[in-house]
Amino acid sequence: MAASAPVAVCCPNCWRWSELKNASTCKRCGAPLVLPDGRRVDEARSGTAPAPVSINAPTVSLASPMVGTDWVAIARWITVAHGALVVLLIFAIGLIVPTITVPVQDPSTGGIVEQTVNIRPGLAIVAVLVMIFYAGFVKAIGWAVVRVILLILVLIGAFAAASRIGTEPLALVAGTITGLIIDAGFAYVLTMTFLAPRRPAPVAARAPVPVAALPLAPPPPAPSPWSPPEL
């Protein structure tokens, strides 16, 4: 009686063929072993229908690499930081000055009386509107027209701050100068998004995809010496 040839199985993770014995999983990684016809060993033994086998293989990106400073990303982070500072300033005002006194005319007597008003609910609404305003700019700052609008707003704010710096108290001059320095840096970043945008890398600078990183198909099992010849 002719002896039967051993059955070869393959691990879909290790890409290694071995002889089928009692184990139905790989000894190295524990993945289910696969028969040459695509069935898993455990499914073949239990008689269930074969399921598709997922093979872990590295992916290769075909997108062209970009070179240069990402000024748009820098502008986006500056916008986030500026919006966070404005919101924190609004909350600080609400904590330090929760109420204000305003003159109100008494309708019964016609006289002017002072009335205390709680400004915290109004400041909370303003803070929410400011967050929505800055979130919109952060999301749409990738568009050139949005960056132009933002640059115009920054320049208008800087000119307004510079025009009133001579009439401000000495305690506020340092804060105004700091704001002007921040506005100048932000305007420079916004300008650089147009003067030095990111570009695709030259063909000579693109690194070729290493052949060793690509998955190789496992070798087919050796034919059994006891199998009948093909007609």
Q: What is the pLDDT of residues 15-62, one digit of tens each?
A: 777 777 778 788 878 788 888 777 788 877 776 555 554 445 444 454
**pLDDT above 90 for 126:** yes
Separation of alpha carbons 149 and 193, rounded Å: 13
Which residue did the predictor score with more confidence, 108 or 215? Answer: 108
Grade residue 156 by pLDDT with cuts at 50, 70 and 90.
Answer: very high
pLDDT at 170: 76
pLDDT at 231: 46
pLDDT at 223: 58
Separation of alpha carbons 87 and 139, rounded Å: 18
Predicted TM-score (pTM) above 0.75: no
pLDDT at 72: 92
**pLDDT above 60 for 216:** no
> What's the average model confidence in pLDDT over 79-96?
91
